[in-house]
A and B are shown apart, each in its own frame.
Chain A
Amino acid sequence: MALPRLLSCSQVIRHQVHQFPAADMVGQLSSLSVACTQVRHMPQRSKFKTKHYDPKWRKERAAKMLKIDLPDYIKLKKDQNLSLEEMRAKMKKEGISPPTPYQERPILITCTDFGIRAQDMLHYRLMNMQSEWTEAHISNGNVEISLTAKIKSVEDKLHELVTERAFPDLTLDLSEKTIRWKWIESLEPPTVTHVRQTDIITKENIYGQVTVRMHSKQMLAIYDRFGRLVYGSETMPKDVLEYVVFEKHLSDQYGCWRLHAKIVPEWMPRRDAVHRTFVMPSLQEVEEEEPKQEDDGSVVSSADAQSQPVAA
């Protein structure tokens, strides 16, 4: 069906007119507009005029149709995101009892959220517990992480090499992408810059963290869903200086050193840009809160109060 593609005055007004379903208003509105033709020149097959020839018995004819509450499925789907009060009211209306307020489920904490604690464990205590821990272990662990396949197929292996905190950083945005990463060589021997321990809930539940400075040559290429290169290069390796944090659940008999996080110091040069451009989002300026005054007279700005201390 080849409809004409040129816009005409009548077509423009027809769009505005279509907001009103009642057929009689169409004529009134079109008469208000200037020099507009309401003639619909359409091919034979499509039928737009569905009016009955005798408008006198319109109401009676409409009354013959038995009224049904037609569901608007699209609106229902949108309304599924109800607020708590709305959900409670809906369930009360339908006579559904609320769910149990608590959910007893055992949780296993195998890593810490951030490697950021003020307490520093003595280095020698750590070494006593982990007598077989050597630097060579780190480089071995890194080589194992070299992935040439998609992330999903090596998920189980990844859990052994990487903590739960680092896992989403490695997999979340990359689930539908292909990564090719290769550790080419180490430019400098890895050095330990920081050692600490943290504990969760009880003082006996200790986690050890080690920050290692690694200067190496790596190759990274990320391809999007359609196999197009979005970041990096497969032919050009890069010299990478990283401060990598490894963590081990020391209290756990079967804990092992796993990649936990990466620290990017402020003086580090910026990474390469992604192979695409973005439209700048139009952001609204956030009004800066006035600095609060503490009891002892010192002024603490809201920004300082909110940020967490970051260990070097």
Chain B
Amino acid sequence: MNPGPTKWPKYNQVVWEPQKPDEPRRPAEIFHHRANIKYSPKKLWYIASWIRGMSIDEAIKQLSFHPQVGSHTVKEILLEAQDLAVKNHGVEYKSNLWIAESLAGRSSYIKGLRRHGRARYGMVEYKYCHYMVKLQEGSPPEHYYPPPPNHWQMMEEYLANWRRRTVLNGLKS
């Protein structure tokens, strides 16, 4: 049996140095996972990417109505993680969490056979995967991934690149 992710749960044992009173409050981070789920990792990746950057409530709501079968499992895992966050990791409000990281990784596959015509056989893979999630305290950011630049930003970048040029043997500006 595949042991699953070994480093991921260890992040929950990190103890930070006490903060000074003037420092901004450090948000709590909760690392949760489930290993050896009977699902294809490639398919789980779509679900994992879908909920990245959402608040926990929004993610649970979306997964409840997501068409893929694996979304049910991911929803269970998120609810587990939310429960652990409040019980063990000092999170006060269970809704004040967002999906900071959401990953799908492959586990060991089991190989089977399938018969073809004329007594020829093909290999079949029964896939298992791991799902890892990191919940962070606070409200989610506006953009999880940087959005494509708008026209004004593109223009500014264009001008900046042209102005950055060095004229060889030219006058010092």
Contacts and interface: CB of A to CB of B under 8 A. Distances in A.
A150 B114 contact: no
Contacts of B154: none
Contact of B18 (A11, A64, A227): A227
A276 interface: yes
A71 B65 CA distance: 28
B26 interface: yes
B22 to A, nearest CB: 13
Contact of B26 (A68, A71, A228): A228
Contacts of B110: 68, 70-71
Contacts of A155: none
A117 interface: no
Contacts of B49: 1
A226 B16 contact: yes
Given A18-B67, A66-B112, A66-B114, A5 B62 contact: yes
Nearest to A276: B92
A74 B65 contact: no
Contacts of A5: 62
Interface string A154-185: 00000000000000000000001110100000
B65 A176 contact: no
Contact of B50 (A3, A48, A64, A74): A3
Interface in B74-105: 86, 89-90, 92
B112 A68 contact: yes
A170 to B, nearest CB: 17
B93 to A, nearest CB: 9
B114 A65 contact: yes
B159 interface: no
B5 to A, nearest CB: 14
A64 B116 CA distance: 7
Interface in B106-151: 110, 112-116, 124, 126, 128
B65 A7 contact: yes
Nearest to B114: A65
A217 interface: no
B42 to A, nearest CB: 10
A74 B34 CA distance: 8
A64 B114 contact: yes
A176 B14 CA distance: 8
Contacts of A72: 38
B173 to A, nearest CB: 44
Contacts of A70: 38, 110, 126
A15 interface: yes
Contact of A226 (B28, B38, B114): B28
A225 interface: yes
Contacts of B13: 176
B67 A14 contact: yes
Contact of B36 (A40, A74, A150, A276): A74
5 contacts: A7-B65, A48-B67, A64-B116, A70-B126, A226-B28
Given A65-B124, A223-B18, 18 more contacts: A1-B49, A3-B50, A14-B65, A14-B67, A18-B72, A48-B67, A64-B115, A64-B116, A68-B112, A72-B38, A73-B1, A74-B36, A223-B19, A225-B90, A226-B28, A226-B90, A227-B17, A228-B19
5 nearest CB pairs, A to B = A73-B36, A223-B18, A227-B16, A227-B19, A64-B115
Interface of B: 1-2, 13-19, 25-29, 34-38, 46, 49-50, 62, 64-65, 67, 69, 72, 86, 89-90, 92, 110, 112-116, 124, 126, 128
